[in-house]
Amino acid sequence: MMKRCSIVLLAAASVGLFPVASPGQDQPAAAHPPIGIVEKLGNTLPLGVTLYDEQGYPVTLRDIVTKPTIVTFVYYRCPGICSPLLTELARTIDKMDLEAGKDYQIVTVSFDHREKPPLAGEKKTSYLAALKKPIDPAGWRWFTADSTTIMQLTDAAGFYFRREGNDYAHAGALIVISPEGKVTRYINGIQYLPFDVKMAVMEAAEGRTGPTIAKLIKYCFRYDPEAQSYTMNITRVGGLVVVGLVAVFVVIFIVMPKKRTGER
């Protein structure tokens, strides 16, 4: 129990203690911490790497990422934060009005090269069964990989971990990428607001046609990097209110009186 607690505390403490990379700027190899997350916004993940799906079939990341994607790095035997992270993600899926497999997808990758596809399949079955809102199984995929591929992928994403005996010390986060594989947002920790996750997915889909209400929501809210959450943009909302009041004034005091005069 003490060992589990130490892993959780170490992982939690590692989040947010390290510098954030500028968008599109790679971190030098020697600059990253041994454990934690360095935000590499704008970095593109290596789409040519090969992962193994739940059935053991090889597939490239390029073939997997076809829409806005939430990437989670865990290891399936983890005694610490991985299970709470995945459970919270499942809870978030249930509460979001976006549909996994249609509006976005989730890719979970084990960073323990010793873990194999059958274990990934067991985890997938377990978590999909726990969802209250059924989703397309292709909407949440689970993978394993060799050590070289894992290092390429986690380094590009800014996710760093260290093996300690038979387990690993690591942080927890959702890493959101665009359909082109570009890192667009990090949601650190193991507790998430469905609204924050939805906004991150919408940002990852930038450039694609979305419903009008989604555009309005993005207009009215901005991302606060310090709080790592979305807050209302008072200036923009205030502007919308003023424009709305002006429109009402014009209709009531100018348009309608003219209309009544014309009718006479």
User: Right CATH number for 2-192 from 2.60.40.10, 3.40.50.1820, 3.40.30.10, 3.30.499.10?
Assistant: 3.40.30.10
Both structure tokens of 220: 């009215």
With H, G, I as helix, E, B as strand and everything else as coil, classify residue 37.
strand
Which pLDDT belongs to residue 238? 52
The pLDDT assigned to 34 comes to 87
pLDDT < 70 regions, the chain: 1-31, 207-264
Sign, Cα dihedral of 196, 201, 205, 210: negative
Bridge partners (DSSP) listed for residue 223: 230
Given its phi and psi angles, is residue 181 left (phi above 0), alpha (psi -120 to 50 degrees) or beta?
A: left
What pLDDT is recorded for position 14? 40
Q: What is the pLDDT of residue 32?
A: 74
Predicted pLDDT at 22? 43
The pLDDT score that the predictor gives to residue 5 is: 39
- The per-residue pLDDT for 33 is 82
User: Where are any strands of DSSP class E within 113-182?
Assistant: 140-143, 159-160, 162-164, 167-169, 173-177
- Number of C-beta neighbours around residue 22 at 10 A: 12
Place of tokens 């998430």: 192
Question: Among 230, 244, 171, 225, which Cα is nearest to 200's?
Answer: 230
The Cα–Cα gap between 26 and 21 comes to 7
Q: Quote the CA–CA distance of 133 and 187 in Å, as a whole number.
A: 22
* pLDDT score at 146: 98
The position carrying tokens 């205030």 is: 238
